[in-house]
Amino acid sequence: MADSPPARSVADPRTRARDIDRAEVSTVLDAAYAEGQLGAQEYHDRVKRAGSARTLGELRGLTGDLQSPAVFGPTTERKRFGRRHSGEYPARTKARDVDRARTIAALDAARADGQLDAEEHTAMTELAAEARTLGELTTLVTELQQRPAAPVKPKVRNTFRIATIAAVVLAAVGGFAWTIRADEPAARETAASINYDAAPPLVIPTPNLDTIAGFVQFRDDYRTKFGDAVVDEAVLHDEHASAVRRAPDNGDWTVSYTYRGGFERSNSQVATRDRKAVDIDLAQVNTDALGAVLSTAAATLGVPDGVVTHYRIANDTWVGRPSITVYVRNEVSQSAHLVLALSGEVLQTYPYER
């Protein structure tokens, strides 16, 4: 009898994709979109292509330029046992909103301590806000004395073991459900008789986070989720936000979360806490003052037809205290920003210069 052909390696890009492979890639794309690595059009295009992909190679092509998002673990700087984590992302890797925000913060610090003049700072900040890859961001801070740490790849997870455990659990649940169905036919008949269309669905709108109503919603949801309003850093955009707080079991580490009406953990592991980070209580934010700044920032900073794109709450060392940096931009990339204390006092302004 002739020898059967060798089994094709799972790593072979020609290997046929399963439904679970396509679903997993879609989950990665969802997380990457939430983190700002993908724009809306690119995100929808990739999700559509993932749904029709026939091979693993096609699926890998859809995620090859992405940082590993929430579903695949963190961008930590160290492995366990104190060894350095190997492998920074290639320069062509997509940048997240938090990467852009940290680069802009570094440029702001460089402007404040005299490394950059006003013209350089304005131009480089505009480029950072529009940057799509980590390489573009790195180029902007290469000559600075203090640069944000580059994200690195997470450790590889044992997906085969996870899939095996998941299959066993699903089989057990399926068997249990079959037993219930066989023993309780009356319950099935009762459920079928319920008219779920009798009452209209309740829709609760979520305010834009670049308004004071959005900030209050974010703060209230944060307190409900964690039991306090303490953060190391929070960055709020119009429809999504990110937050960094101390790890619950070790104050020397932090955990990152994304927010879209609810909080999800960005990293499955923790990262070393920034030496400059301090505990910031969002309850200390003067909401009246912040609301006034958010509604008038474009006019105050002289950005024609500008809007608030995002604001960052963190311990900014160049102003010597926790503060809120509000960023304004218009459709032709004219931008400016200002810094205010949690109490509402405006500390610094960097207006648009014509």
Number of helices and strands (H, E) in the chain?
Answer: 10, 11
Token digits for 36? Answer: 């700002």
CA distance 144 to 228: 36
- Per-residue pLDDT, 141: 87
- Per-residue pLDDT, 194: 47
| Residues composing the chain | 354
pLDDT tens per residue across all 354 residues of the chain: 444 444 444 557 787 778 888 888 888 888 888 788 888 888 888 989 999 988 888 998 998 888 876 444 444 333 333 334 446 788 888 888 888 888 998 888 888 877 888 888 888 888 988 888 888 898 888 888 778 887 877 655 454 455 555 555 555 555 544 554 555 554 444 444 545 455 555 444 567 898 999 999 999 999 999 999 999 999 999 889 999 999 887 888 888 888 988 888 875 557 888 888 899 999 999 999 999 999 999 999 999 999 999 999 999 877 789 999 999 998 888 889 999 999 999 999 999 887
pTM over the 0.75 mark: no
Angle, vertex CA 323, rays to CA 304 and CA 319, nearest 5: 95
Residue 104 has phi, psi (to 5 degrees) of -65, -40
Residue with tokens 């690595």: 37
- Per-residue pLDDT, 84: 41
DSSP assignment of 77-139: SB-GGGPBPP-BPPTTSBPPHHHHHHHHHHHHHHHHTTSS-HHHHHHHHHHHHH--BHHHHHH
The burial of 301, by beta-carbon neighbours within 10 Å (0-12 exposed, 13-18 middle, 19 or more buried), is given as: buried
- Per-residue pLDDT, 165: 54
- Per-residue pLDDT, 283: 96
CA distance 333 to 276: 31
CA distance 157 to 153: 12
List of E strands, the chain = 230-231, 233-237, 241-247, 250-259, 263-265, 271-272, 280-281, 307-316, 321-329, 335-341, 346-350
- Per-residue pLDDT, 7: 46
CA distance 210 to 162: 39
- Per-residue pLDDT, 154: 65
